[in-house]
Amino acid sequence: MKNILVTGGAGFIGSAFVRHMVEQHPEYNIIVYDKLTYAGNLDNLLPVSDEPNYRFEQGDIASRETVRRAFQAHDVDTVVNFAAESHVDRSILNPDAFIHSNTVGVHILLDESRQHGVGRFLHVSTDEVYGDIEPGYFSKEGDKFAPNSPYAASKAGGELLVRAYHITHGMDTVVTRGSNTFGPYQYPEKIIPFFVTEAIDDKPLPVYGDGMQIRDWLYVDDHALGVATALFNGKSGEAYNIAGEHHEHNINVTHRILDLLDKPRSLIKHVPDREGHDLRYAMNCDKLRELGWNRLYTFDSALEATINWFKENEWWWRKIKTGEYLEYYKKQYAARLAAAE
Ligand code: NAD
Ligand code: DAU
């Protein structure tokens, strides 16, 4: 392992992984390969942009030619694939991009990796492949897939291709399945950065339905460390859950955000629910713990640190909340807010 191609490394979790690897592992060359979609942002990589073991290449994982060029130019021997369309609501509005990047793109990246003789291929997946989880149960790595949104189905499709390349071609693959992640540099469409930045501006917070859905919250640096642990220590052909083990109803997360910002609860608007909304995600992550991973952050301290980061870094998010973002906001929320209770 020497030259590691990190696809999707200009996004939220990918950039946290890249910052960690570049700073903590000067023995590796980290090459970020990213299409720079609306969610890709080179500002996320500014802290490492001058480091000698960091490089950037713009490209689509679904484009064979550019993938091949990047493999050859950097003598890539390891791939860590974060690249994906990642927002469930957008997958309901426009699923095509999700099939393109999360399923077809994974296939092309795998096939080119095999032809180039790449060693380890780590694929970043999600707890959403398990679907809606009954109260009291925690998903294990061997459980069946039951994805419910176009996003989750496209991620499950990508994962199944990773499994097939391991079994059919003997590729050295490892999969991680992370839970809901939050922290600095998260695109302000996901609930925590969206609600924090809207509340700062005294705008309404659209809670889907009654807000009693449960998510398991994981701090981004703990997610990035989990991926690094699986990359270095994971067994070939295996999958590893990365869980925050902090389960909260959405309405409680919303209350905490408002309280920490000293904003009134009257900003909350209960709006019509997300279609096909999964009520609960929850995973067991003992398998990753056995590889030596442990979380370093608690939800409370990480949420406070995240909110402070957004308060102190308006330069980062204010320019995002323009143009395409406002178009998306209108499509996703205008009618919902008009129908709010
Ligand atoms: P993100 O949307 O912030 O970043 C995705 C990155 O991938 C962007 O930089 C984008 O430009 C790039 N990208 C998209 N399509 C591409 C393509 N075809 N070719 C090359 N680059 C492309 O996403 P994130 O929240 O950082 O998620 C990263 C990964 O982690 C995804 O695979 C996602 O499914 C998974 N995941 C996310 C969470 C979460 O809560 N955010 C939890 C579990 C798993
Ligand atoms: O579980 C892992 C997944 O977590 C990742 O694979 C996805 O990439 C990531 O986007 C995230 O998916 P969710 O759909 O759970 O995240 P989101 O932040 O969009 O929503 C979290 C919860 O908050 C969900 O129950 C929907 C609700 N929600 C979200 C938004 C954006 C609202 O009530 N209102 C909103 O405006």
Q: How far is the CA of 139 from the centre of ligand 1 (A)?
A: 22
Residue 306 pLDDT > 80, yes or no? yes
- Residue 205 inside a domain? The answer is no
Ligand 1 pocket residue status of 84, Cβ below 6 Å: yes
Looking at the CA of 15, name the nearest ligand.
1
- Residue 108 inside a domain? The answer is yes
What is the C-alpha R_g of the chain? 19
Q: How confident is the model at residue 37 (pLDDT cuts 50, 70, 90)?
A: very high
- Cβ contact 7:208 at 8 Å: no
- Residue 10 inside a domain? The answer is yes
CATH number at 110 reads: 3.40.50.720
User: How far apart are the C-alpha atoms of 207 and 204, rounded to whole Å?
Assistant: 9
What confidence score (pLDDT) does residue 57 get?
Answer: 98
DSSP string, 261-296: HT--GGGEEEEPPPTT---B--B--HHHHTTT----
- Residue 13 inside a domain? The answer is yes
- Residue 281 inside a domain? The answer is no
Ligand 2 pocket residue status of 229, Cβ below 6 Å: no
- Cα-flanking dihedrals φ and ψ of residue 275, to 5°? -65, 135
User: How does pLDDT run across 155-197, given as a tens digit for each residue?
Assistant: 999 999 999 999 999 999 999 999 999 999 999 999 999 999 9
**Which three-class secondary structure state does DSSP give residue 314?**
helix
Q: How many domains does the chain have?
A: 1
- Which residues are paired to 33 by β-bridges? 7, 57
Looking at the CA of 209, name the nearest ligand.
2
- Residue 251 inside a domain? The answer is no
What confidence score (pLDDT) does residue 341 get?
Answer: 74
Q: Whose CA is nearest to atom 7 of ligand 2?
A: 86
Q: How far is the CA of 338 from the centre of ligand 1 (A)?
A: 31
- Residue 158 inside a domain? The answer is yes
| Interacting residues of 45 by C-beta distance below 8 A, sequence separation 6+ | 9, 10, 15, 18, 19, 32, 54, 56
Average pLDDT, the chain: 98
| Of 17, 33, 37, best ligand 1 pocket probe by most atoms within 8 Å of the beta carbon | 37
Which atom of ligand 2 is the closest one to the Cα of 253?
Answer: 23
User: How far apart are the C-alpha atoms of 224 and 242, rounded to whole Å?
Assistant: 10
Ligand 2 pocket residue status of 247, Cβ below 6 Å: no
Q: How far is the CA of 180 from the centre of ligand 2 (A)?
A: 7
Report in angstroms the alpha-carbon separations of 61 from 107, 278, 313. 9, 29, 30
Q: Which domain covers residue 135, as residue numbers?
A: 3-182+217-242
- Cβ contact 80:234 at 8 Å: no
Does residue 127 carry a catalytic annotation? yes
Ligand 2 pocket residue status of 243, Cβ below 6 Å: no
User: How far apart are the C-alpha atoms of 71 and 75, rounded to whole Å?
Assistant: 6
The DSSP code for 127 is G
- What value does the mean pLDDT take over residues 204-212? 98
Report in angstroms the alpha-carbon separations of 49 from 43, 53, 85, 227. 9, 9, 24, 21
Q: Whose CA is nearest to atom 11 of ligand 2?
A: 180
